[in-house]
Amino acid sequence: MNLRWDQLQWKPHKDHFLRGSQDWGVYKNELMFDLQSIGYVKGIKLTNLDKANFGSMIRRSVTDNPRRINEDLSSGSDMMKLLNKTYRQSSTIQAENFFNDLIELAYDGGNAIDFVTKFRVCVRDFKSTGQELADNITILIFKRAVEKRAHRWHYEASHTSKTEQWSLEELFNDFISNYSLKAFHNTNKYHPNRDFRVNNNFDNKRGDKANIRLGQIENRGKLAFKPKINQGEKNPESKNQVVCYICGKTGHYTNNCHSKRGTTQGPH
């Protein structure tokens, strides 16, 4: 199997250059992902040219200290083994830091997509140290992170999980869809501070009620009869809608009709 080295564009982000144990896991993942893009599969036998090209990739993307460790090596495979042996022990400490970042993450009620993205990054960083994190444990950590500011969704999700098996991706997608809708209704131009909780996945009736209330708010200013302005005084706008039953005209009540006066008073 020949690797397509001419198609490789290995330009790691400035934060992904290998400095030492603190970023070894992330660096290793980035490097292996790029190798896979040109046909590398774990376990395949590399030619001497492949090993040399691999070593060149590593030398171009490490700082001085990791480079000194590999001064006498030209094979990329040997370099990776030596770096892994050098930095693996400290990865345990790094894993603890990443795990602390993960369990301390908490949803603040803001953009749901941004929060899920941060959560994914924390999970990825933790796994990059070689540690394993099962999906069912990840789901528990995620629900714990959103419980305070998304307690209604947390309750519904926990209740549903008793009868249905959710994947991690389904959980993320459901949370994003629910709280993207919530954010949309919270920015309604009529009542920007009103909180309409719409939950399409769990309670469509609640969403319908919220939409009905939104329609009532929108049309509230168009109602013909408004509350009295002062006690005992009728709203002047409502008078324009009054129809006199004697003359059939609008704008006055029956007891103030001029036609009635003319017929009842008669000539002097």
Residue 63 CB coordination number (10 Å): 12
The predicted pLDDT at position 140 comes to 94
Interval 99-127: pLDDT, tens: 999 999 999 989 999 999 999 989 988 88
As a whole number of angstroms, the distance between CA 173 and CA 178 comes to 9
257 vs 35, more confident:
35
As a whole number of angstroms, the distance between CA 41 and CA 256 comes to 94
The predicted pLDDT at position 141 comes to 96
Distances (CA, A) of 181 to 156, 175, 199: 16, 10, 8
Interval 78-97: pLDDT, tens: 999 999 888 876 667 778 88
As a whole number of angstroms, the distance between CA 74 and CA 54 comes to 9
Interval 145-178: pLDDT, tens: 999 999 889 998 888 888 888 899 999 999 998 8
Interval 13-67: pLDDT, tens: 777 788 887 778 788 888 988 899 999 998 889 999 999 999 999 999 999 889 8
- Chain position carrying tokens 């042996």: 85
Task: Provide the b/e sequence for 34-46 (b: ≥16 CB within 10 Å).
Answer: bbeebebeeeeeb
As a whole number of angstroms, the distance between CA 99 and CA 136 comes to 16
Residue 43's SS3 state is coil
- Is the pLDDT reported for residue 189 higher than 50? no
As a whole number of angstroms, the distance between CA 28 and CA 33 comes to 9
As a whole number of angstroms, the distance between CA 175 and CA 147 comes to 12
As a whole number of angstroms, the distance between CA 51 and CA 80 comes to 11
The predicted pLDDT at position 183 comes to 52
- DSSP H or E stretch at residue 85: helix 76-87
- Which pair of structure tokens corresponds to residue 121? 């990054």
Domain ranges for the chain:
5-89, 104-219, 226-268
Interval 197-240: pLDDT, tens: 444 444 444 444 344 344 444 444 443 444 444 444 555 555 55
Residue of 16, 41, 37 lying closest to 26 (CA atoms): 16
